Structure 1
């Protein structure tokens, strides 16, 4: 075993890393080194021969976090876990391999939120229902909640009330039919269908249990019902499960996350070992004391009493703003003081301004613009949601699956001439499926752009058009990383918002939800 695995760990961290007598729940407060504990625990188990690297499943909530954890493990023991990624990417992998057992085609498409809204909009229009009265986003939200609770349309109907509930029920049924006809799954389906596969196909479940004998889950407080069921099915009788979480850090209940999964875990695994990580390495004593005061009256879940060896630090200052404009003015004034403070050198990229909802960014943006301070909003239009990217991807998706009605609708909006050119090209390619399968993603992408004359849309010189061309150029670089078209489209569907461009010297604005897992020197 490499000595660095256990060096520099406090007693609680070391106990969590080395415990090997059954299921383990690590309740880790903010700044207590939970990522370090989880990665070192995986490395410890592999290096001690308690598990082979290929038999490890490590799941977390973003691809970025999974990549960082994987990198840390490789750095420690020069081996990578068998699978490190999100629940969704893991389930997509399972369904690609074994989904056919329950009727899911190997080449299924993954519909993102925009695709889902478009499909629901079409269904509402087919039913002659107003999309103002029944907004697609609202209908989708209810359907997603139902899926997160593992409710089929008929099961949802038992809880549906009023006209809206009845309408959602009808749309839900049609939505599922259309997804099946297209050969597509939405994000919720990735989890739901994987759970169904494990429940309905015992041999498939046995195979994956044999392959992944040790399960490690990060951010357990943010798991939903389906993820809990999936994890429990995979763990089986071996009970080789480690989860890390803190109910006080649960912020995704609006996505179906249920911090009570911590309590359910303790109930379902009576012999589970619980280790608390309460030493904070990030904050001053004053900040921790204030945080403890705020949260200690919470009775819904175990509360960790965080402490630190760090200095007392400055007392927390409270500014009572009169309104949103006054608050924004105060924030910008504080930023100006920081960047003008000599001899300290503070970059604007060191600064983040956090708020609860996106709507709160407007007054901050105006105040920053007024003072000439550059800023970037994280959670604006995601790379894969940009028009030109969605257009090109629609062409590619139709090549793979001509039944993709959402992509067809998008292509139709690009003009008759362009549609005719693409139809001619897709017929030519579609008549020879081996050509699609043997061509690289980059080759297909370039052919689509060339045959449709898509770039002609951006001939007029403007900053916006130059940005669109740059985005297509970036898409080509992604295509080189995924030569197989189905793998490319799957990656596109699963990828989160792009990373923050730290090289840009500007203030970062984002919601508290978007900030989860990130760190800034000044917040």
Structure 2
């Protein structure tokens, strides 16, 4: 373990060794601020015997928190025992724990939900539609910025707000727009309150309110947190400032702020350099200025300092670069247009990699706005497709604001990927469950296990589902067959078509498979009371089919009974291969189903009392509704899950980060075919370090209990033998338990964890209940499951109960929406009976219209022809068709349904596809070319991969590269220009430019174009003019 003062300069040592009272560390770029924070944590633990649990370090991003944690945990600063328990969090993560503990004190349930950005967007879209506001005028990113800024500043709808600002710099003023936004915010907050949910901004504000109003809670945290360290202090806003003030124990004020006012670039979310000055006033801190700079060559640092000193307020500390021996000129290129700019940036990249021995990962391209980089990205893709593999420029683009990066687009492209390249398991899994789920979570996991055990691809095993009737019911098998037929149909239409035509064909195909029910309607159906005797009748039919008994149906001849009989006949014969005999009796007004020529039969009718009848009593006189319900329930019985080879497991660990967490107990239970516990294994594990009090309290596992137990290296082989080649079930196992098992298998067994088949209870709950808290505790509470033991023994038992509840809920919803192809017949029957008023009937009727919107009623062929001879038959069919057309024109229905979402997303996708096509030769762009492009822009960034990086300067905060190219250095682009712009806003853009410049270690380039937009000539950025001429080399194209 290193001596803490080693490798630290004098100022850093002064900051690290400061003990009590407040300290403000002024740390410019490249001065080692993270090193100071992590070394100070270690110093407090090693030299002052401060308990790790009494230290809180907060920062702004998960990446920064992870980096800080890694440095503290790597063993060089503090041994693994000493560092366990240090609280290193983002502001939001810390506040989640605080509010969860005392939610009842602020009127929230303990298991309140937290809405992430995806859910926040969904709520905002709902509000936009309900308010009949144009999303074009208020794009979601802008609304998100406004909402966050509004809440961060403790906005009040009655506070007379006259202006909103967005991340892009757009100012929104004017009575109508302001009123529209306020209405949206009010509606948004109402929806959050209705779901007992908070968004990320609420987490800070609610924490501040709790600490302000509750002395007991405030004193508790002040006792526990003896030392608080804040990274990037210049980025805090008012709520975060108040949070720190309330957490800081008086009179000690052991608060460390590491800040640089010149890097404050988030005013649109409430950040302000004034909080640095306020810190000095409130805490009288010791001030330590870090003056040694270790990142940039001296000329780059001098140029950056020359720019930032043009601000009215700036950090006056002189930074001394330690990199003075070799310097490369800073170069500014002025180019004709954005096409030439893209070409020239690529030339710079090739020069650096081919002539200067740079790796692609040593280089980054920055810009103020994403739009600036679009031409470059397209040019890189185009060039990479036309050169030899060794000449490709691999790159990743961070962020971007095009719909190709949305989940909808990824689902659509999954189809195209599967059509083009069938050996892509993840694409097949995504495609088969879009636009509606064809496979439930259990069946999906079963398919993965079968593929794994047989050594074949998932794509191959889905073609073999008919070979496994013991695992997959007839509905699932038919649904998979329909998917494969759909894929073949699409593939047959691909030849001699460009990508736009192909995608247009795909959307036509996908529309037919959309679920005809709204999400809200599914929940309405779910809440409907059970029809009397429905379960018993389905059971009678089930046994008859299993025993292969003949089934006879007798009914009247009106439209409703004809439709009801047809539904039953088709389901029994087509899905279940049952032998059916149908007979008409004009005198009957019901449907009778007899089994094996016995006198006992099922009758669908109004209430009656004959002793030999099992009567399904209908509420609204529509027999076809009950026929559909009966068949749905019957099919559900054939879809019962087989849980053989499923195993529920859990790990108790010290720590909640899978990179560092250490196992202290394992537990697992195998299930039988019915999902009951069959065999269990539980074993305590001796960790390499002590168990801190927080973990002891969480699991009721003490250091004494594990003192004489075997270490994980000895426990793991037997445990893996028990769980291997099974479908693993657990809560949050995908991102936690499985990752720990994978890590330890490599470390101790020297082999990979191959198990790809699992059911993550967290993911299933998020899908079924997207607006509820999916945590383990919340799910147990939701299903009234008593958690008897916090150790893996009890966790596994509770997880199994939760899992079965979720599987049952999913099965029920699937039952209610199954057999949608028969909805038009139900619609006809409802019209015939004139029973469109009851809410349940309304839902089914509207679902029948939605189904018909994308599927022609003529698909029923002979049956429809036969009933048109019945009185009023043809008239009703025409009326239904007319209602479908009226339904298409119903803007009211569209505005409040998923239909709007589908249409907007398809239009957005086609628009982006057209933009993509414009940058290439349309005649040469096929599906393979587009898929390569799409898969490239949607790859997850890989830190250790040799790739060029494209990102906004805001996203580059905290990064460093050997070479940086900053594009778009024109007035109006950087800085952004708009009406009524203030000096402060220009100065923030100057700070942003300073941040971008100081990411460069060795080489720095700027590009300006004379004409970025047609018919508009632009001048060079004022920031370029602020760099001294002796530090800048300029070049201009002719």
Q: TM-score of the superposition, structure 2-length normalised?
A: 0.41
Q: Is the Cα–Cα contact under 8 Å of residues 223 and 249 in structure 2 kept in the other structure?
A: no
Q: State the secondary structure of the residue aligned to 1:275.
A: strand
Q: State the secondary structure of the residue aligned to 2:228.
A: strand
Q: Which of residues 921, 937, 941 in structure 2 aligns to 1:500? A: 941
The residue correspondences of 1:424-443 to structure 2 (distance < 5 A) are none
Q: Distance in 1 between matches of 2:21 and 2:315?
A: 21
2:398 aligned partner: 378
1:259 aligned partner: 273
Q: Distance in 2 between matches of 1:247 and 1:314?
A: 28
Once structures 1 and 2 are overlaid, which stretch shifts more, 513-522 or 195-204? 513-522
1:19-49 Cα distance to aligned partner (Å, 9 max, x none) = 2241000000111111101110111111122
Once structures 1 and 2 are overlaid, which stretch shifts more, 212-221 or 81-90? 81-90
CA shift for structure 1 position 353: 1.1
The residue correspondences of 1:114-125 to structure 2 (distance < 5 A) are 114-125=118-129
CA shift for structure 1 position 126: 2.4
Q: Is the Cα–Cα contact under 8 Å of residues 234 and 273 in structure 2 kept in the other structure?
A: yes
Q: Which of residues 79, 94, 107 in structure 2 aligns to 1:90? A: 94
The residue correspondences of 1:66-77 to structure 2 (distance < 5 A) are 66-74=65-73, 75=75, 76-77=77-78
Instruction: Flag structure 2 segments of 5+ consecutive residues without an equivalent.
Output: 165-173, 385-392, 412-429, 442-512, 528-646, 652-731, 740-759, 767-772, 776-937, 965-1038
Once structures 1 and 2 are overlaid, which stretch shifts more, 47-56 or 150-159? 150-159
1:330 aligned partner: 344
Given the superposition, is the C-alpha separation of residues 289 and 58 from structure 1 closer, same or farther in structure 2, using an over 3 Å criterion?
Answer: same
Q: Is the Cα–Cα contact under 8 Å of residues 251 and 513 in structure 1 kept in the other structure?
A: yes
Q: Distance in 2 between matches of 1:93 and 1:383?
A: 35
Q: Is residue 2:327 matched to residue 1:307?
A: no
CA shift for structure 1 position 122: 1.8
Given the superposition, is the C-alpha separation of residues 134 and 15 from structure 1 closer, same or farther in structure 2, using an over 3 Å criterion?
Answer: closer
Given the superposition, is the C-alpha separation of residues 68 and 503 from structure 1 closer, same or farther in structure 2, using an over 3 Å criterion?
Answer: closer
2:381 aligned partner: 369
Q: Distance in 2 between matches of 1:282 and 1:305?
A: 15
2:257 aligned partner: 243
Q: Distance in 1 between matches of 2:331 and 2:404?
A: 38
CA shift for structure 1 position 51: 2.4
Q: Distance in 1 between matches of 2:226 and 2:364?
A: 41
Given the superposition, is the C-alpha separation of residues 327 and 196 from structure 1 closer, same or farther in structure 2, using an over 3 Å criterion?
Answer: same
Q: Is residue 2:202 matched to residue 1:189?
A: yes
Q: CA RMSD in A?
A: 3.7
Q: Is the Cα–Cα contact under 8 Å of residues 46 and 53 in structure 1 kept in the other structure?
A: yes
Q: State the secondary structure of the residue aligned to 1:522.
A: strand
Q: Is the Cα–Cα contact under 8 Å of residues 143 and 168 in structure 1 kept in the other structure?
A: no
Q: State the secondary structure of the residue aligned to 2:336.
A: coil
2:961 aligned partner: 520
Instruction: Flag structure 1 segments of 5+ consecutive residues without an equivalent.
Output: 400-412, 428-437, 443-474
CA shift for structure 1 position 73: 1.8
Q: Distance in 2 between matches of 1:364 and 1:488?
A: 41
1:446 aligned partner: none
Given the superposition, is the C-alpha separation of residues 356 and 125 from structure 1 closer, same or farther in structure 2, using an over 3 Å criterion?
Answer: same
Q: Is residue 2:86 matched to residue 1:65?
A: no
Q: Distance in 1 between matches of 2:404 and 2:102?
A: 31
1:120-171 Cα distance to aligned partner (Å, 9 max, x none) = 2322332333334455544443332121111233336587961222222233
Q: Which of residues 149, 152, 155 in structure 2 aligns to 1:148? A: 152
Q: Distance in 1 between matches of 2:962 and 2:525?
A: 52
1:354 aligned partner: 366
The residue correspondences of 1:134-173 to structure 2 (distance < 5 A) are 134-155=138-159, 162-173=175-186
Given the superposition, is the C-alpha separation of residues 301 and 295 from structure 1 closer, same or farther in structure 2, using an over 3 Å criterion?
Answer: closer
Q: TM-score of the superposition, structure 1-length normalised?
A: 0.78
1:212-266 Cα distance to aligned partner (Å, 9 max, x none) = 1211000001111111110111013120100101011122222222222111111
Given the superposition, is the C-alpha separation of residues 369 and 136 from structure 1 closer, same or farther in structure 2, using an over 3 Å criterion?
Answer: closer
Q: Distance in 2 between matches of 1:157 and 1:287?
A: 42
1:442-468 Cα distance to aligned partner (Å, 9 max, x none) = 9xxxxxxxxxxxxxxxxxxxxxxxxxx
Q: Which of residues 415, 433, 438 in structure 1 aligns to 2:515? A: 415
Q: Is residue 2:511 matched to residue 1:510?
A: no
1:329-366 Cα distance to aligned partner (Å, 9 max, x none) = 2211111122222xx64432332211111111112113
CA shift for structure 1 position 172: 2.3
Q: Distance in 1 between matches of 2:761 and 2:43?
A: 35
Q: Is residue 2:476 matched to residue 1:477?
A: no
CA shift for structure 1 position 302: 2.8
CA shift for structure 1 position 419: 6.7
CA shift for structure 1 position 505: 3.8
CA shift for structure 1 position 178: 1.3
Q: Is the Cα–Cα contact under 8 Å of residues 145 and 268 in structure 2 kept in the other structure?
A: no
Given the superposition, is the C-alpha separation of residues 81 and 32 from structure 1 closer, same or farther in structure 2, using an over 3 Å criterion?
Answer: farther
**How many aligned residue pairs are there?**
456
1:352-403 Cα distance to aligned partner (Å, 9 max, x none) = 21111111111211332343233221114899963469x99x99xxx9xxxx
2:135 aligned partner: 131
Q: Is the Cα–Cα contact under 8 Å of residues 233 and 276 in structure 2 kept in the other structure?
A: yes
Between Structure 1 and Structure 2, the one with more helix by share is 1
Q: Distance in 2 between matches of 1:64 and 1:252?
A: 18
2:170 aligned partner: none
Q: Distance in 1 between matches of 2:14 and 2:141?
A: 46
1:206 aligned partner: 219
Q: Is the Cα–Cα contact under 8 Å of residues 376 and 508 in structure 1 kept in the other structure?
A: yes
Q: Is residue 2:196 matched to residue 1:175?
A: no
Q: Distance in 2 between matches of 1:349 and 1:158?
A: 45
Given the superposition, is the C-alpha separation of residues 376 and 71 from structure 1 closer, same or farther in structure 2, using an over 3 Å criterion?
Answer: closer
Given the superposition, is the C-alpha separation of residues 158 and 361 from structure 1 closer, same or farther in structure 2, using an over 3 Å criterion?
Answer: closer
Q: State the secondary structure of the residue aligned to 1:27.
A: strand
Q: Distance in 1 between matches of 2:348 and 2:13?
A: 41
Q: Is residue 2:55 matched to residue 1:56?
A: yes
Q: Is the Cα–Cα contact under 8 Å of residues 58 and 81 in structure 1 kept in the other structure?
A: no
Once structures 1 and 2 are overlaid, which stretch shifts more, 509-518 or 186-195? 509-518
Q: Distance in 2 between matches of 1:487 and 1:68?
A: 31
Q: Distance in 2 between matches of 1:245 and 1:80?
A: 27
Between Structure 1 and Structure 2, the one with more strand by share is 2
Q: Is the Cα–Cα contact under 8 Å of residues 57 and 81 in structure 1 kept in the other structure?
A: no
Q: Distance in 2 between matches of 1:97 and 1:162?
A: 42
1:26 aligned partner: 25
Q: State the secondary structure of the residue aligned to 1:509.
A: strand
Q: Is the Cα–Cα contact under 8 Å of residues 56 and 213 in structure 1 kept in the other structure?
A: yes
Q: Is residue 2:292 matched to residue 1:279?
A: yes
CA shift for structure 1 position 319: 2.1
Q: State the secondary structure of the residue aligned to 1:143.
A: helix
Once structures 1 and 2 are overlaid, which stretch shifts more, 64-73 or 164-173? 164-173
Q: Distance in 1 between matches of 2:339 and 2:364?
A: 18
Given the superposition, is the C-alpha separation of residues 171 and 245 from structure 1 closer, same or farther in structure 2, using an over 3 Å criterion?
Answer: same
CA shift for structure 1 position 479: 6.3
Q: Which of residues 100, 104, 120 in structure 1 aligns to 2:104? A: 100
Q: Is the Cα–Cα contact under 8 Å of residues 73 and 80 in structure 1 kept in the other structure?
A: no
Q: State the secondary structure of the residue aligned to 2:109.
A: coil
Given the superposition, is the C-alpha separation of residues 118 and 156 from structure 1 closer, same or farther in structure 2, using an over 3 Å criterion?
Answer: farther
Q: State the secondary structure of the residue aligned to 1:379.
A: coil
Q: Is the Cα–Cα contact under 8 Å of residues 12 and 275 in structure 1 kept in the other structure?
A: yes
Q: State the secondary structure of the residue aligned to 1:22.
A: coil
Q: Is the Cα–Cα contact under 8 Å of residues 383 and 498 in structure 1 kept in the other structure?
A: no
Q: State the secondary structure of the residue aligned to 1:69.
A: helix
